[in-house]
């Protein structure tokens, strides 16, 4: 059995690769080091993995990489975790849309087209809560209407639909996971918790888009990895919400960070950003019933772990 992970140098991808490698699994990782944040952070994410004999890494773009070149490493069936994407709900407007379409739609289609002729045990696609859009219906269930309000959400929805089309017409064993606001060690530096923690520690101004009353269903990285690995044994063609059961008001989270760090935040409220939604909350009943998913990390514990990581590893990069 071999595991192929795209986007393996990123926040979620590196955690997933480590979990599998520590279990003794054979893992192939692909990442193109897109310039959405510092390469040094992604290199650090891979540092331990690159010392492991059961991990093979390719630095390449999925749109140009010769996927058949990994054939000598394969032995039997493959499970693909397709996590590679160009993220950010606030970007992708104007000429930048091409970058999102290229990385999120075209790269996915090329990987699907390669996989359809291979011995695939499961093709797991990492989708996002952003595809639901700015709905007032909470909690969100998998059958809800999908109305993304950002270029990122739109391209992820298109990629998700592509996956399901390949399942329908080529019998590719697709499973879709819709992640809800993931946080924890290695979180990208453009994400809210990362920016808030850094600002509070450094006693700098902390920018909040809107009035801070928006809510999110925050999901800790370890819980995300639990669900992602469990999805390998899910029935093909299924879609699952993966939330943390920790819906919190943003202002409340900032106060919690103040308490943990021991410093006051210097908050500056600014205009809401295009692409942001007011609230999210996952109904993860299906994931609980089918995957045995049960998020186990309280937000206080998760935030302490992220703060510790930012104070040590990240600040040295």
Residue 58, φ and ψ in degrees, nearest 5 = -125, 125
CA angle at 86 for the pair 100 and 121, rounded to the nearest 5°: 110
Residue written as tokens 């040590």? Answer: 312
Residue 303 backbone zone (phi > 0: left; psi -120 to 50: alpha; other: beta): alpha
Of the residues 3, 58, 86, 152, which is catalytic? 152
152 is catalytic: yes
**Neighbouring residues of 51: CB distance < 8 A, sequence distance ≥ 6:** none
Asked whether 235 and 203 are in contact (CB, 8 A), the reply is: no
Q: How many CB atoms lie within 10 A of CB 168?
A: 11
Give the CA distances from residue 16 to residues 57, 123, 185, 230, 265, in Å, rounded to whole numbers and listed in that order: 14, 15, 13, 12, 33
Q: Which is it for the CA torsion 212, 216, 221, 222, positive or negative?
A: positive
> What are the residue numbers of the active site?
152
């Amino acid at each position: 059995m071999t595991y192929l992970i795209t986007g393996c140098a990123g926040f979620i991808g590196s955690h997933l690769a480590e979990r599998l490698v520590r279990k003794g699994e054979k893992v192939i990782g692909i990442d193109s080091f897109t310039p959405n944040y510092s390469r040094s952070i992604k290199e650090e994410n891979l540092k331990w993995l690159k010392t492991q004999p059961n991990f093979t890494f390719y630095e390449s773009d999925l749109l140009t990489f010769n996927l058949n070149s990994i054939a000598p490493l394969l032995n039997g069936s493959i499970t693909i975790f397709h996590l590679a994407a160009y993220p950010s709900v606030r970007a992708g407007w104007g000429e930048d849309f091409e970058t999102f379409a290229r990385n999120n739609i075209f790269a996915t289609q090329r990987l699907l087209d390669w996989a359809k002729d291979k011995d695939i045990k499961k093709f797991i696609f990492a989708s996002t809560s952003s595809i639901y859009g700015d709905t007032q219906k909470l909690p969100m269930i998998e059958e809800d209407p999908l109305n993304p309000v950002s270029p990122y959400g739109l391209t992820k929805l298109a990629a998700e639909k592509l996956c399901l089309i390949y399942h329908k017409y080529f019998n590719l064993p697709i499973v879709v996971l819709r992640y809800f606001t993931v946080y924890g060690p290695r979180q990208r530096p453009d994400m809210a918790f990362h920016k808030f923690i850094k600002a509070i520690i450094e006693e700098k101004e902390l920018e909040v888009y809107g009035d801070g009353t928006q809510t999110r269903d925050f999901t800790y990285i370890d819980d995300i990895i639990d669900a992602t690995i469990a999805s390998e044994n899910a029935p093909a063609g299924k879609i699952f919400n993966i939330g943390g059961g920790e819906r919190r008001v943003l202002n409340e989270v900032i106060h919690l960070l103040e308490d943990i760090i021991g410093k006051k935040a210097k908050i500056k409220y600014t205009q809401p950003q295009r692409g942001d939604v007011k609230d999210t909350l996952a109904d993860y009943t299906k994931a609980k019933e089918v995957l045995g998913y049960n998020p186990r990390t309280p937000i206080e514990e998760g935030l302490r772990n992220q703060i510790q990581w930012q104070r040590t590893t990240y600040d040295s990069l």
